[in-house]
Amino acid sequence: MISLYVVLLPVLIALLVLLGRSSAALVRGLAFLGGVGTFALSLFLAGSEGFQGAWLPRMGVNFSLDATGAGPVLVLVAALVMIPTLLVAATRVEQNAAGFVALLLLAQAGLNGIFLSKDLIVFYVFWEATLIPGLLLLGMFGGDKRRQAALKYLVYAVAGSMLMLVSILSLKALSGAASFHITELMIATPSLSAGVQTWLFVGMAIGMVVKLPLWPLHSWLIDLNEQNHPSGAADVLGSLYKVGAFGFFAWALPLLPAGAERVAPYLLALAAVTAVYGALAAISQQHLKRFLAYGSLSHMGIIGVGLFGLHLAGLSGAIYFLAAQMLSTGGLFLVAGMLYHRRRSFMLKDYGGLAKSAPAFAGVSLFLIFAYIGVPGLSNFPGEFMALLGAFQTSPWPAAFATLAVIAAGVYGVNLYQRLFQGPTTVPTSDLSALELYVLVPFIAGVLWLGISPAPQLRQIEQQAALVTIQLERAVDAADEVPTVTLAGLTGGEK
Amino acid sequence: MTFPPVLNIDWSALAPALALLVTAVVTLFFGLFHKDSRHVAVTALLGVVTAFFFALARFLEPSEQVASFGLRYYGDNLALAFTFVILLGTALAILVSYDQLKRQDLDRPEYYPLMLLSALGAVVMAASGDLVTLVLGLEIMSLPVYVLSAWRTSDRQSQEAGMKYFLLGAFGSAMLIYGMALLYGAGGTFVFEGLAQSLAAGEVTVLATLGGALVLVGLGFKASLAPFHQWAPDVYTGAPTPVVTFMSVVIKVGAFAALLRVVSTVFPLLAPWLPTALAIIVAATLVIGNLSALMQTGVKRILAYSAVAHAGYLGLALLAPDHGGVAAAEFYLTAYALMNVGAFAVLSLMTDANDRGDHLDRFAGLGRRRPWLAATLSIFLLSLGGIPPLAGFDGKILVFQAALDAGWYWLAVLGIITSVVALVYYFRIIAYMYFRESEYEPPAIRSTATNVAIVVALLGTLLLGFFPGLWHNLLDVGQTLIAGF
């Protein structure tokens, strides 16, 4: 039932925030409560009992949430990131902070639904519903060009997800599955021919690539980050809502393995290009948020490489990296918001030499930048390493190409730190305030936690990754009998 | 072939329609002595509620007898489900009209009797088991709406709307009746079941197919399927908003209920190109409705073209009556009734006494000036656009799934792709409300009755969205459609 509560609690708090929007203190209190409450629930999420309820039973849709596999890990990390983000939203947004906080909470509920649902239609419901809070955050609180950015985001996301819906509905119609539950679908989809699977996979892939995102369907992300509210809180949500990789991992790859085998090489090439392109583009940016957006795009490319290498280590690494980048990218976006709070500018040329007047700020930022570029011992490293290692086993050339992005990451990381904190002092800046320190502490703790002790989370992710690889192997060797372990493992997760 | 006797009247099935008829007559007399139309409105609402309880009683205790007058008037679950939606739409439209009539100087007591009569016609159409009942229902439904469209006698645009609707409606009726005559010539009877049997016995004839095609065209006018939708935008813009609230729902339900009966009983026995022709009509409706809506700058016209587009989505269900399409259409119409009435009800609080002021610019900054109004309108628009977890989304996946199950892949894909366009124009209104600063002071119209209608529609949209199974599970009508006897 906890899997249901982590979806319901943020919604409930969001409604309370809207009702109490006239009192700033109440909004702050509720924001904190919502963040901490959801985090506390998600601590007990892994392995807890799932939830099943009828939704549209005659169409084969059941509202089923389940806390096995990678989902709870992502929910937990997202909940950790959301605590400081909600605090920033409640304190740094001048106009209509209640609306901002409520939209963040609604988006969090949607994200948790995406990560936990075990019914394909329910997954789609959360996937699509989460778009709206993000869109409203951009449109209501964004910068001067927010309307264009919002339209771009809407068109990319909706066009992609509608194609995904075609595939989802056809999946059941063509395979004759009894319901949209993952187990039933996995029993039925092997009967589809490789050609049909390829088409369905392509349909799903377009929707998921938009939200991964991969080059060339990424440009909405850059505009979104540039135009979002300067506090950076909405950008944190943006880094949580990169759910495309999870969509591939939990649905597209295991359901349509034969299609995946055919299409993955092309996606792998796109992902490798994205990784290098993002890293190179980041270095040439003048706008801090665009810089971070491109750097993050490069990370998503590496995640893609891990996924489409179709290897156990790569798959697990990719999802681990997906969780880890929430911390480093999210933290840096909030740092960007704190810088903006001091100088009212995101232009990198306006900064420099901040380390002299704000040494603690510089130290914390350097720590997060190190995490961002994948320094060993910090959060991004294990996932990045495994993703590339896994892809290397199956497709060495694209993986080798993507490794260039890791080298480039060192360059843009150092570049970013130099341009912000070193060099001639521009204007003396105040150091971190107590509140800002509190905001950044969860990120530091999370970065260390995921960096030093990756094993427990990786075990959970690997359970699910193993199922994906079993499905992929079955597709390659279709004559094999269905291993019963697969189905038992799917529902129980412990086998 | 043996028919049940003609005079086997099942009064419990007729009761909802009779309740509406009696109330219409009573309110007509009532209006003679009451200058204030609000009293009439309350009486009309009571009549609708009575009809609802009659329908509910019939639903809870279904009788053995499926139809009255020898299969000419059905009392099956299909008819009942549509009756519920019609009554819901009528009740909400009465609430929306309650304060608006006085404000917009449309306060004449004949308004509500005409509305009830039109609802009666739609109920009869939904229950019709033969072509004559269908035409009777269609005319009872249409004639009052022609008058209501021209209700703003001082306004040329409203006059034009009424006239245009009447002329095109008459044209549509003529087509329908001609088609009926041809079908009668081919099958020797007006009753759907009889037609189905006698057509099944012989070869497919040109006469019957032509008749079926003309019936499709005639009903297509009412359902606003392209290219027979031309009246819709002008009538929606010209007619008073409370009237549009009513007709956008009730006429559509009546037309689609009749289409479902005809399509599922007679069409399979006609030439195989007929479903393809219907598919092309549906495709045209989807494309024209959605693309035209994208071009509009008036919210009322956007909603008018969106009503055309929704006819297209419903058309998908028409093509798959044996694959869950019937229940999908019923669910879709219920959702559509709620969200569309909701959107028009909010709109009626935005327009001035002459129904002007629905330009998009007027909605700029509404999110800040009238937060609750803007939030509810956003929910209705997102639901119309098919965003989960709102009622419109559930309706959409049901019709798409039905179309896919029936093998209409290209049409389902087209429907899903045009949904992207739809979302853009619905979201445009939301973007005006939230992403722009206001240039106009929004009118401070307050109406408790309209608010009640909005709240009911909102709760319905959310409830149906979050728990679609509650309603969809009741729509178990697949068999009774064909198994008339």
Give A445 to chain B, closest Cα distance, Å: 36
A182-230 residue pLDDT tens: 888 888 888 888 888 999 999 999 999 998 889 888 888 888 888 888 8
pLDDT over 90 (residue A429): no
Q: Write out chain B residues lying below 8 Å of A59, CB-based.
A: 324, 397-398, 401, 472
Predicted pLDDT at A173? 84
Q: Write out chain B residues lying below 8 Å of A139, CB-based.
A: 431, 434-435
Predicted pLDDT at B367? 84
Please report the beta strands in B308-436, taking only residues with DSSP state E, as ranges in sequence order. Answer: none
**Residue B87: Cβ within 10 Å count:** 28
Q: Write out chain A residues lying below 8 Å of B409, CB-based.
A: 170
What are phi and psi for residue B309, nearest 5 degrees? -60, -40
Tokens (6 digits) for B68:
């009255």
Q: Which chain A residue is nearest to residue B436, measuring alpha carbons?
A: A140
Do B400 and A165 count as a contact with CB atoms less than 8 A apart? yes
Among partner residues A96, A155, A169, which is closest to B424 by beta-carbon distance?
A155
Q: How far apart are CA A389 and CA A377, in angstroms?
A: 17
- Tell me if A49 sits within 8 A of A204, measured CB to CB: no
pLDDT over 80 (residue B77): yes
Percent of chain B with pLDDT over 70: 97
Q: What is the mean pLDDT of residues B311-325?
A: 90
**Mutate which: B405, B436, B474, vs A, most A CBs within 10 A:** B405
Percent of chain B with pLDDT over 90: 47
Tell the residue number behind the tokens 């959107």, with chain if given. Answer: B343
What are phi and psi for residue A101, nearest 5 degrees? -60, -45
Give B226 to chain A, closest Cα distance, Å: 24
Give A376 to chain B, closest Cα distance, Å: 41
Counting one residue from A and one from B, how many pairs have CB atoms under 8 Å apart? Answer: 88
pLDDT over 90 (residue B380): yes
pLDDT over 90 (residue A142): no
Among partner residues B382, B404, B434, which is closest to A169 by beta-carbon distance?
B404
Task: Find which of A447-456, B137-146, B256-265 is predicted with most confidence, using mean pLDDT.
Answer: B137-146
> What is the CA angle A148-A153-A158, rounded to 5?
130
Do A154 and B324 count as a contact with CB atoms less than 8 A apart? no
**Mutate which: A4, A158, A163, A210, vs B, most B CBs within 10 A:** A158
Do B397 and A154 count as a contact with CB atoms less than 8 A apart? no
B276-310 residue pLDDT tens: 999 999 999 999 999 999 999 889 999 999 999 99
Tokens (6 digits) for B380:
């209705």
The contact set of A with B (CB < 8 A) is 54-59, 96, 121, 124-126, 128-129, 131-132, 135-136, 139-140, 146-147, 150-151, 154-155, 158-159, 162-163, 165-166, 169-170, 172-173
Give A159 to chain B, closest Cα distance, Å: 6
- Tell me if B345 sits within 8 A of B323, measured CB to CB: no
pLDDT over 70 (residue A492): no
Predicted pLDDT at B89? 95
Do B431 and A57 count as a contact with CB atoms less than 8 A apart? no
Instruction: Return mean pLDDT, chain B.
Output: 88
Of B345, B300, B254, nearest to B158 by C-alpha is B300
Identify the band that residue B390 occupies on the pLDDT scale cut at 50, 70 and 90. very high
Of B53, B167, B44, nearest to B114 by C-alpha is B44
- Tell me if A214 sits within 8 A of A296, measured CB to CB: no
Least-confidence region, from A197-211, A311-325, B6-20, B252-266: B6-20
Among partner residues A58, A131, A170, which is closest to B473 by beta-carbon distance?
A58
Tokens (6 digits) for B160:
């034009």
Q: How far apart are CA A140 and CA B433, in angstroms?
A: 10
Tell the residue number behind the tokens 């006897």, with chain if given. Answer: B485
What's the length of chain B?
485
- Running DSSP on this structure, what letter comes out for residue B147? H
pLDDT over 50 (residue B438): yes
Instruction: Return the amino acid letter for A251.
Output: W
Q: How far apart are CA B58 and CA B18, in angstroms?
A: 14
Q: What is the 3-state secondary structure (H, E, C) of chain A?
A: CHHHHHHHHHHHHHHHHHHCCCCHHHHHHHHHHHHHHHHHHHHCCCCCCCEEEEEEHHHCEEEEECCCCCHHHHHHHHHHHHHHHHHHHHHHCCCCHHHHHHHHHHHHHHHHHHHHECEHHHHHHHHHHCHHHHHHHHHHHCCCCHHHHHHHHHHHHHHHHHHHHHHHHHHHHHHCCCCCEHHHHHHHHHHCCHHHHHHHHHHHHHHHHHHCCCCCCCHHHHHHHHHCCCCCHHHHHHHHCCCHHHHHHHHHHHHCHHHHHHHHHHHHHHHHHHHHHHHHHHHCCCEHHHHHHHHHHHHHHHHHHHHHCCCHHHHHHHHHHHHHHHHHHHHHHHHHHHHHHHHCCCEHHHCCCHHHHCHHHHHHHHHHHHHHCCCCCCCHHHHHHHHHHHHHHHCHHHHHHHHHHHHHHHHHHHHHHHHHHCCCCCCCCCCCCHHHHHHHHHHHHHHHHHHHCCHHHHHHHHHHHHHHHHHHHHHHCCCCCCCHHHHHHHHHCCC
Task: Find which of A344-358, B419-433, B434-448 is predicted with most confidence, using mean pLDDT.
Answer: B419-433
A306-365 residue pLDDT tens: 999 888 888 999 999 999 999 999 999 999 998 888 888 888 888 888 888 888 888 899
- Tell me if A371 sits within 8 A of A239, measured CB to CB: no
Give every CB contact of residue A94 below 8 A, 6+ residues apart in sequence: none
Q: Which chain A residue is nearest to residue B430, measuring alpha carbons?
A: A136
Identify the band that residue B214 occupies on the pLDDT scale cut at 50, 70 and 90. very high
User: B residues 278-337 near A, CB within 8 Å?
Assistant: 324, 327
Question: CB-based contact (8 Å) between B405 and chain A?
Answer: yes
Q: Which chain B residue is nearest to residue A59, measuring alpha carbons?
A: B398
Q: Write out chain A residues lying below 8 Å of B420, CB-based.
A: 155, 158-159, 162
Between these two residues, A477 and B148, which has the higher pLDDT value? B148
pLDDT over 50 (residue A486): no
Q: What is the mean pLDDT of residues A277-283?
A: 91
Give every CB contact of residue A27 below 8 A, 6+ residues apart in sequence: A17, A20, A21, A90, A97, A98, A101
Identify the band that residue A494 occupies on the pLDDT scale cut at 50, 70 and 90. very low
Question: CB-based contact (8 Å) between B423 and chain A?
Answer: yes
Give B288 to chain A, closest Cα distance, Å: 19
Do A59 and B467 count as a contact with CB atoms less than 8 A apart? no
Identify the band that residue B3 occupies on the pLDDT scale cut at 50, 70 and 90. low
pTM exceeds 0.80: yes
Q: Write out chain B residues lying below 8 Å of A171, CB-based.
A: none
Q: Write out chain A residues lying below 8 Å of B398, CB-based.
A: 56, 59
Do A147 and B417 count as a contact with CB atoms less than 8 A apart? no
Predicted pLDDT at B32? 80
Do A140 and B367 count as a contact with CB atoms less than 8 A apart? yes
Query: What is the Cβ-side half-sphere exposure of residue A398, based on CA atoms within 13 angstroms?
Result: 28
Q: Write out chain B residues lying below 8 Å of A54, CB-based.
A: 469
Q: How far apart are CA A396 and CA A288, in angstroms?
A: 34
Predicted pLDDT at B287? 95
Q: Write out chain A residues lying below 8 Å of B365, CB-based.
A: none
Predicted pLDDT at B2? 58
Q: How far apart are CA A58 and CA A179, in angstroms?
A: 9
Q: Write out chain B residues lying below 8 Å of A163, CB-based.
A: 416-417
- Running DSSP on this structure, what letter comes out for residue B61? S
Question: CB-based contact (8 Å) between B129 and chain A?
Answer: no
Identify the band that residue A78 occupies on the pLDDT scale cut at 50, 70 and 90. very high
Identify the band that residue A37 occupies on the pLDDT scale cut at 50, 70 and 90. very high
Q: What is the mean pLDDT of residues B157-168?
A: 89
